[in-house]
Amino acid sequence: MKSMYKRQFLLMAGMVLLSFALLGIAFMILSYRYMLDEKQASMERNASYISAYTSAALTQGMDIRSENFRAYVASVAMISDAYIILCENDGQVVYASDRGQQSDFTGVCLPLWAVNQVRSQGAYAGMTAFNGLFTENRYVAGVPVVTQYPFMGANGLETRQIIHGIVFVAADTSSIMELWRVFATIFFFSSLVVMLMAFVTSSVTTLRLTRPLQEMSDVTYQFAHGEFDVRVAGYEQRNDEIGELAKAFNNMAESLGKAEARRSEFVANISHELKTPMTTIAGFADGILDGTIPPERERESLQIISSETRRLSRLVRRMMDLSRLQVSEHAVAQEQFDVSEVMLRVLVSLENKITERNLDVDAKFPKQPVVVWGNPDAITQVCYNLLDNAVKFSAPDTALGVSIVTKGAKAYVSVRNRGETISPDQLTLIFDRFHKTDPSRSEDREGTGLGLYIVKTILNQHKENICVTSENGVTEFTFTLTLA
């Protein structure tokens, strides 16, 4: 597997190298061209100056072989650090000076192609060794020495240009190359230092980015092996995306840990709820088969077996209902119905249980129908579970309260009974799966511990709320429905 750290580092390093390579090439080309162009312009100016001076000297009758003229040319050669050659129209060298020192080129002929180009085009510029006159290529600029003479023509006084010779100025490019090499060396070392700093910064930044991801990966592997208490630590103070990711990862880990704990508890509760009736059924059945239970008690034992079997059946049915609710869509199909009618119908279905406990029913319903939105079957189950719980845990000879009130856009349905007070710590757990207020789970042999959890699940799917209070022996459940 390729490391993200290596990929990120190589990507950033490659981009830095490419950027500096392009910048370096551009700098070298531009700097070289700039220095060369400056040198060319300087040579062409010097050639023009010497040509103009020579023309003026010839016009004034000065001999170009005189010491004064040669001193001027030598001074120009020294100042411009160049090689100056004066030649006749046929290329015959008249005078040559290299950086102020006279060179013995007298009688040497320059190449005709350079001389002819100056005479025909008025100038020459280029790199040449003049057919071996110089030991290496030099930049050479040449201009003609022109004088103008007046004469009387057909149209009156006219001027005529006469070319007396040619001036060539040659520059040694070694100084240019040396300066360019110095610039290139400085740029190279500066680039090297900057690239090293960029690589170190890139390495640190990439490592800072990938290390928490690696730690999260390690924690994920630990989670896969059942270690649900591990967390990603050390990034609480980071106020960036990594800090947010670490916080979200730890929140997810916390949720997974709680989910695993609930799953373990759920499995334990199922095992307990299934084991109890099955143990009772097996015990009494074995007692009848092996004769431990006398014949006169067999009917009583069979009744217990039948009761536990029905209890086991209710538990399985509730589990199936719960499973169906959990896999169903969150947005349940809703329609308009009268919640008062639903509550009355449920009360009628529980009439026998209410009568057995000698309970009075205190029903307070509005005179007009209370039409709400919801799934009638699901809300019927909510009402049945709440009323069945209220009847089961009511003290005998007390009153069972049922009321419906409307407020704003909501209908508030309440079920109230009088019995034992539920402690505050139990109230926070009352809607959990398999939770019973009796820790021994033995007194409430008819319950499965799923009724209130199913109530909460159905109301959550309807996006409605339910709350419970228990004070001085009075326990009241109230849930909401949206008015139609």
Q: Which two tokens stand for residue 190?
A: 């500066």
Question: Hey, where are the domains in the chain?
Answer: 4-180, 228-327, 331-482
| Region for residue 233 given its phi and psi (left: phi exceeds 0; alpha: psi -120 to 50; beta: otherwise) | beta
Helix axes 67-80, 4-59, angle to 10 degrees: 170
Sequence-distant (6+) residues with CB within 8 A of 204 are none
Sequence-distant (6+) residues with CB within 8 A of 393 are 417, 419, 420, 437, 475
pLDDT score recorded for residue 445: 44
d(CA 432, CA 452): 8
Shortest CA distance to 415 belongs to which of 400, 426, 429?
A: 400
CATH domain 4-180 topology = Beta-Lactamase (3.30.450)
CATH number of 228-327: 1.10.287.130
Range 331-482 has CATH code 3.40.50.10470: no
Q: Is the pTM of this model over 0.85?
A: no
Sequence-distant (6+) residues with CB within 8 A of 100 are 74, 75, 77, 78
Number of H helices, E strands in the chain: 11, 13
Shortest CA distance to 168 belongs to which of 73, 272, 274, 47?
A: 47
Kindly give the parts of the chain with pLDDT less than 70.
1-5, 99-104, 106, 151-154, 156, 175-176, 236, 265-266, 269-270, 272-273, 276, 318-319, 321-333, 433-449
pLDDT by residue (tens digit) across 422-444?
888 888 888 876 666 554 444 44
pLDDT by residue (tens digit) across 82-98?
888 888 888 888 888 87
d(CA 144, CA 123): 7
Three-class secondary structure of residue 110 per DSSP: coil
Q: Which two tokens stand for residue 103?
A: 């060179």
Amino acid in position 20: F
Helices marked H in 65-159: 67-80, 112-121
Phi and psi (nearest 5°) for 375?
-95, 110
**Please, is 286 exposed, middle or buried when counting C-beta atoms within 10 Å of its C-beta (0-12, 13-18, 19+)?**
exposed
